[in-house]
Chain A
Amino acid sequence: DAGVTQSPTHLIKTRGQQVTLRCSPKSGHDTVSWYQQALGQGPQFIFQYYEEEERQRGNFPDRFSGHQFPNYSSELNVNALLLGDSALYLCASSDGSGNTIYFGEGSWLTVV
């Protein structure tokens, strides 16, 4: 089991552009969450998907949106990128109980 996998690992975008990050959950997991980790800070919860619907959302603007596919994989989309969106974006997966939450290695986004 490869665990939680994310792509791409690194990318650079220009202010105002849009970005899509991808995540495949750990085998057997149906719940995917996304976190933003700015430099020097802990991860911050963006939102969570279950049964292809957004179930919970943190304090992030509507520029951040997502999607979950029938195979439980997920995408995070960020529109109108700002310099402050530069961060490590982590995907986490869990089963319905949420007893153990597994993280991917993350996607490093740099906005210039």
Chain B
Amino acid sequence: AQRVTQPEKLLSVFKGAPVELKCNYSYSGSPELFWYVQYSRQRLQLLLRHISRESIKGFTADLNKGETSFHLKKPFAQEEDSAMYYCALKPGGYNKLIFGAGTRLAVHP
């Protein structure tokens, strides 16, 4: 079965604290993995994709095939990082996304 699991509905941290949003996936092939973010009153937008191995807004994510995880990390959270974060999997050969339920990140001053 193809599935994405985000175990935390809400992650609450203080400004400057490290952040790790967890994502685990179930997929038998080689997946493409993404993190999408939705800020308040804005559309869903791409934050990171694993094939790019880039850092966006200080966030990084590493694909761990052994643990089937793609956790999103940031060393020092900012208040403007407060948003809904969705982990998504794109099955090989298909142009569609399978999303997790999302984690709300709340960064307090």
Taking a contact as CB atoms closer than 8 A, the residue among B45, B46, B97 that contacts A45 in the complex is: B97
Cα(A3)–Cα(B45), bound, Å: 11
**How many residues of B are in contact with the other chain, CB < 8 A?**
21
Instruction: Establish whether residues A48 and B101, one from each chain, have CB atoms under 8 Å apart when the complex forms.
Output: no
Chain B's interface: helix, strand, loop or mixed, by majority? loop
Most chain B CB within 10 A, of A58, A101, A106, is at A101
Instruction: Establish whether residues B90 and A98, one from each chain, have CB atoms under 8 Å apart when the complex forms.
Output: yes
Given contacts A48-B96, A101-B97, contact A42 B86 (CB under 8 A): yes
Residues of A within 8 A of B42 (CB): 105
Instruction: Establish whether residues A56 and B86, one from each chain, have CB atoms under 8 Å apart when the complex forms.
Output: no
Interface positions of B from 54 to 109, Cβ below 8 Å from A:
86, 88, 90, 94-102
Interface positions of A from 58 to 112, Cβ below 8 Å from B:
58, 90, 92, 94, 96, 98, 100-106
Instruction: Establish whether residues A45 and B98, one from each chain, have CB atoms under 8 Å apart when the complex forms.
Output: yes
A-B pairs with beta carbons under 8 Å apart, 29 shown: A4-B43, A33-B96, A35-B97, A35-B99, A40-B9, A41-B101, A42-B6, A42-B86, A42-B100, A42-B102, A43-B44, A43-B86, A43-B99, A45-B96, A45-B98, A55-B95, A90-B44, A92-B97, A96-B95, A98-B95, A101-B46, A101-B95, A101-B97, A102-B45, A103-B36, A103-B44, A103-B45, A105-B42, A106-B43
* A residues adjacent to B (C-beta < 8 A): 3-4, 31, 33, 35, 40-45, 48, 55-56, 58, 90, 92, 94, 96, 98, 100-106
